[in-house]
A and B are shown apart, each in its own frame.
Chain A
Amino acid sequence: MLAKLLRSKVVVWILIVLPGLWPLWPIFVSHDPSVLADPLKFILHHLGFVACLLLATVLALSPLRVLFPKWSVALALNRHRRLVGVSAFFYAALHFTTHLVYEGGTDVSAIPKILQTAVKKPFQLTGLITLTILFVLAVTSLHVFVRWLGGKKWKMLHRLAYVAAGLAAYHQAAARKIFPMQVVWIFAPLVALELARIVKLRMAARPRPAAPAAAT
């Protein structure tokens, strides 16, 4: 049942769009003063949070399939890897756009100064690099590029997603004055899944070296 639902593109689209609408609740419905104090800051942090969540999710999909090859939910979710990955970029881009408005309002001439500051601060620079990686991966997720690059090169390029995840985790942690546990519960499951995948592949490779290579 769940697997059937998750096979549907519409369902996944809804799951991706809904979290982006969440800020409407504290701003327009519950009137949370801690949000209304600076609504844009709340939106900024929320968009970044969703971007991290989607990035961790898309990276978790392939180890899930390797670890549970017969689990229909894992298989259903793996149909949407590109959509989830591109949406991570989309949220990151919205997050960055919000940052520009948060810092400079609607004044476009403020942007160079904002970028200058960003390049000087490791906290902000890691966010910018993450966004750049996600941009490249989103563009090259088009079939044309897969064909143009060839499977092997394309795969190598898309391993940059792991670099992006590492940078995003740092960026998210550095956004707070003390280490936020949120980072752990977003990225720790991913690390655990990756480790489990490596262990499983090693174990599978050991007794029969000729075994067919598992999908990665």
Chain B
Amino acid sequence: MDSDNRIPENKKLTTFNVVTGIILAGGVVLTILRFTMGLGTVTNLDNNNPWGIWIGFDLLCGVALAAGGYVTSATCYIFGLKRFHSAVRPAILTAFLGYALVVLALHYDVGRPWRLPYPVFYSPGTSSLLYEVGLCVFLYLTVLFIEYSPAAMEWLGFKKLRNVVVKLTLLLTIFGVVLSTLHQSSLGALFLIVPSKLHPLWYSSYLPVYFFISSMFAGMSMVIFEGSLAHRHLKDKMDETHLRENTGVVLGFGKAASFIMMGYVGIKIIGLSIDNNWHYLTTGWGLWYLLELIGFVLFPGILYAVGSREKNLTLIRVASLWTVLGIVLNRLNISVVAFNWHLPSAQRYCPSFMEIATSVFIVTLGIVIYRFIATRMPILHEHPDYRAH
């Protein structure tokens, strides 16, 4: 494990650094444009399509893929599967950064950042699902920050405060699971209000259930995918325990994800049946729906199953990337592609280049911050002074 964080001169101008530098610089320009010239300058949003990819990708996908935090901490601390302990800190960090960036991305969409506290403290709309989502994200981001903070405190040397926070672990985990159950499902429930706008194949009264169940295997897949990236690029920051437990984490999460994905396919078929939407399957929309369900849920689910059975880690890692892409496809289908499906194509929403570039900027920002923290703080290794926990 490498404890020296100084970067040699010849390693400062790497491809990664140059590309991220260009993306971040472009993102700063777009941010200035957005907040000085308004939404219309950088987006293709209008009154028919007020939610674009900043909601569909940055928010819906961000929240779903950050579900690894509650899934991993519940697995370890509530179900007592301590063999997954080494996966908790990276998962919590990913979730914390994911949610923090969701809130950041929301600022680009909503504007007027100084009004962020209004929905929670000034004018709570207690009958609104958006209020519930906002409150849950606010509370869960706080919970994730506290769950992540022991790593920062160990790095900073705040021993006493760190020990107090560690004692709250179980309480925070339970709180995190409750809040995640609420807002993951509520994000799906937001679309219950648009039965006439969302294509019947994606619209269902079970949308909250679909969003919650899919967040579970999205989170697990993200833990596997992010773990494999860390294993490849930050291996020198991993200690013996992390390297040893990694195989078990990949196999265990792969198996669990596979089982949940099969259940998810089952409840999606039940949704088709109960709404009698079979006849739509023979249309173009139906083929697109089947591609999402079979190509990006059933197929990676089978890959996970075979990979877990054969103990083939490469297959499981491929399945995790496939599943992450499937979740992105599902959330974009619901919020953008199958939304306003009946409108003529001239009135349909298509994201502008600047909207896509802003989303790329936000994702890149997350990767850079993750790398900064993981190379300095005890995320992928245990701090030598606190090995007992």
Is A bound to B?
no
Which B residues fall within an 8 A CB radius of A? none
